[in-house]
Structures are given as C-alpha cells and as structure tokens.
Structure 1
C-alpha cells in the first residue's frame, strides 16, 4: 500500500505547476484526492494517479477542486434542462461529468441513492469525495469513452500520456489559444510527467497490516492431586 508524504509532494509541484504558490483550495483538493487514492487504490500503478491529477488540473483550470463548467453548457445540447428533473447536465466535478446518462451511470456504479443520486441531485457531483470516486473509478474502468481506460495507456508495455486523453475527451490534438502552441494532449502529458515525479519522490510503502491472530480454543486440564504439570519447562500449580 503506497502513501505519499505531503510536504515532499507539495514542494515538488509548487514551482513547476503552480508558479511557486498554491491557494488553500488547491492544497485541499490535492490532499483530498491523495487521501481517496491511498484509501482505495493504493496498490495501483502510480502513473494512473499522476494522470488523474493531471486531468483534474486541466479540467478544473488548475484549481484542483471540483467545479461547474464555465458557462454551464451554454450552446451545448447537454446544457439544456431535462424535462424529467428540470436540471441541465453540464460539466461538473474533477472530470467535468456531462450528459444525463453519465450522471445516471455514475450513480449506479457508485451505489448512490437518495440525496446523493447524481441524476436527481447533479450538484452532488461537486462533492469532493464523489468527484474523486467518479474520476478514479471512471478512468480506471472506462466509464466515459469505452474502451479507453488507464490500463490501456499505462501498463507493463505501454506508457502513453498523450493518447491517454482519449479516456476523457477526443480533443488531444486541439491547440488552445493560450497554450503556446501545445495541444491539449501534450499539455496534460506535461502535467502528468510533473505529477509523476512528485508522487515518486514522496511515495512511501506502508507496511501491510498483520492478520488478526487465530482463535485459540480454550484447553481445560484436570490434574490429579499429587501430579506435577510441567509445560515448556514451567511447572503449573
């Protein structure tokens, strides 16, 4: 089970990814995602975590905290309210979950219900725990653009941070106006490489907990009067 020393991690990402300074929200968001990963995915490939963190950085405009899509889907089909619920299923969370069927799928996969049902309460996709679960499990299991999964792009024989963008979106070759000529796929690959260095520097292998001792049956011995009982060299009265 791998855990991460937070001071080492933050010291390693502060300058290259956040220009030397991080907000409390950025720190809290990364801490939360690391906590969830350590608790539920600590034995998985650390490259997977690095790519998830890189994806969050891109999808949340470096805030590292689940947020609503800017413009709330204005001009997009998924930005229109669904008659059944009255809600629009624009991007929310660390991976900008969109479309009503993806909210339904995430709800079913995570076993959510009641006030946590993402279809009937889409704002719950902004809950940091739910958002982290959607990101990690969705990218590991290929919820968003099957058959694209983390295992397809990061395995014993493959290490492809550029094409891994296909897990979330098919825009890897798009070049934003603000990116100094880098495509989205390459931008996220750079984030991934930087997060990976920080994670490897800060990684510590926690010892595997020992299993509980087996139940020892109670042994009752009746010793006749005048007979000495000696076990392992110890005389018992």
Structure 2
C-alpha cells in the first residue's frame, strides 16, 4: 500500500530555528529552506520513509554544502558568497591547489575536462556522473549542471544514499541510532566519504534534524485515499462502469446528476458514471466513495 508522510513543516522549521537546535544558528535563508524542502520531497517521492534515514540525508547535505543545503560547485567554501562560480574559476582553483601539493591523492587532474564536483553531495569524475545519471534517467554527463538544480540535486542525494551510489554503502546497511557511535570503519559517514574526521559532527547534525522531525510530528501512514483509487475502466456490475475514475484526477469537485447519470465535474475533466441513478444502491456506493475522495454531491 502506498504510504503518506505526515509532517508539520512549520513546526519542523521552527524547531530548526531554536537556539539549541544545533544547526543554522537561529536563521534559515531562502536557499536553505528551498534545499531542505527539496530533500524532504525527494525522500517522499523515492519512498525513503525511515525518520533516521531522512535525518541522515539532511545531516550529510548540511555538512557537504557548508550549511547551504543546495547544490554547490567544488572549491566553494562556507565563507564564499558565490556558491556557483564559473567553471573556469573552479578549474583554476583546483589547478593551483594541485600544483601547490595540496591535493596529494589526485594522480590525474579530473577537473581539466569539466568533471569536477557539483551537487549537494558532489559528483566528481565523469564515471560517477554517468552512474548516478543512469539511476535517475538523466544524462548528467551531457548536462552536468543539472546536479545544481534543486530537484535533481535532491534526487542525487536521496537515491545515491539509499542505493549506495557514492561509496557502495547505503542507508539500509546501518542501524540507527546505534551506528552513529560506531568506530570509523562502520560509521554511516562512509556512505559519502572515507575516514575524514567528521563522524562526530555528522552524528550531531543527524540528532538535530531528527529532533526537528519529531517536533514536526513526522510519521508515515497508509495512504487510504490512494488505496481507494478506482482505475479499472472495465469494471462492470449491473451496467455500472467507471470511466477511468482515479484519485490522481478526482481530488475535489462537484458530483452532479442528470438524466439518470452521475458525473464528476472538474472543469475540463468530467468523468461520467453511466446507467446509475443517484438513488440506486450503486449510486449510493459511488457517492460514498467520491465523498472519501473529496467530491461533494449536489
């Protein structure tokens, strides 16, 4: 059965703005709100419902973007006001750092042909752009700046962490909150990076976002409306026919009757239910179902 996330986002954001939240220092910029909402929407879209998983997604992006919460380009620091410098600027910064010996792990300058990092969790090297792009059905090699789009960037993070596309480790490999105190080898931070000394920070951020989700009343319930969806146009009973009546289209409207028929008037979308009078047993059943779908009868 399809699930539905219940979250009072106003209460959630209010919790993040508190003095003792542990994140954001009481203020949230428009970009930070946009990034957080994109991640929440993506988690819902990709059925990542576990509250610890959602909290960890937010924690990793909080760290990786320097609290910005939207996609950035490699070399961008928290102090930089320009979060998306030109490609030429990024390449020049990386080239300078490499020649100065500050990137000892780099053997081949991957940035020279444009395969530098982009995104809320940065993709580097074209092979990773291609792998993650394939998982999302996007050509990120052809258009790497898509990783900076709020929706696409959020999907990169959510799908990447849930499927282990960054390092091979995925959210379901860990038991939360226990593994937030694990030794480095077994810490959830390994989903994004090798041992980099940030395990304790990530654990704190995770806790902060988890508490904010709790303050917002986060819970996942069965979507009963979706379960009531009537989509079979071939269903027939005493000449009753539903013409593609689906929850996706019938969310509000007016149910009208005329000439022994009933119809849902949704402006351009009018769905006829043939051969049923409003007073028949089938008509009563339909009225009940449509009432559950938010359609009123007149």
How many angstroms does 1:91 deviate by? 1.5
Residue 32 of structure 1 is matched in structure 2 by 38
Residue 161 of structure 1 is matched in structure 2 by 180
Q: Greater relative contact order (Cα 8 A, min sep 6): structure 1 or 2? A: 1
More strand by share: 2
- 2:202 is the counterpart of 1:197: no
Question: Normalising by structure 2, what TM-score?
Answer: 0.61
Structure 1 segments, 4+ long, off by >3 Å, are 76-79, 204-207
Residue 99 (structure 1) aligned to one of 125, 144, 148: 125
How many angstroms does 1:206 deviate by? 4.9
- 2:234 is the counterpart of 1:212: no
Aligned residues: 199
Residue 177 of structure 1 is matched in structure 2 by none
Consecutive unaligned residues of structure 1, counting only runs of 5 or more, are 83-87, 175-183, 221-230, 233-237
Hey, what's the Cα distance between the residues in 2 that align with 1:41 and 1:219? 38
Consecutive unaligned residues of structure 2, counting only runs of 5 or more, are 77-89, 99-105, 182-186, 241-279, 282-298
**Bigger shift: residues 102-111 or 62-71:** 62-71
Residue 45 (structure 1) aligned to one of 27, 50, 53: 50
How many angstroms does 1:80 deviate by? 2.7
Residue 179 of structure 1 is matched in structure 2 by none
Judging changes above 3 Å, is the alpha-carbon distance between structure 1 residues 36 and 105 closer, same or farther for their aligned structure 2 residues? same
Residue 150 of structure 1 is matched in structure 2 by 171
Indicate the SS of the match to 1:2: strand
User: How much is the aligned-residue C-alpha RMSD, in angstroms?
Assistant: 2.3
Hey, what's the Cα distance between the residues in 2 that align with 1:207 and 1:160? 29
How many angstroms does 1:204 deviate by? 4.2
- For 1:75-132, what per-residue CA distance to the aligned partner results, in whole angstroms no more than 9, with x for missing partners? 25454323xxxxx2222111111111000101111111xxxx2112111111111111
Hey, what's the Cα distance between the residues in 2 that align with 1:3 and 1:145? 31
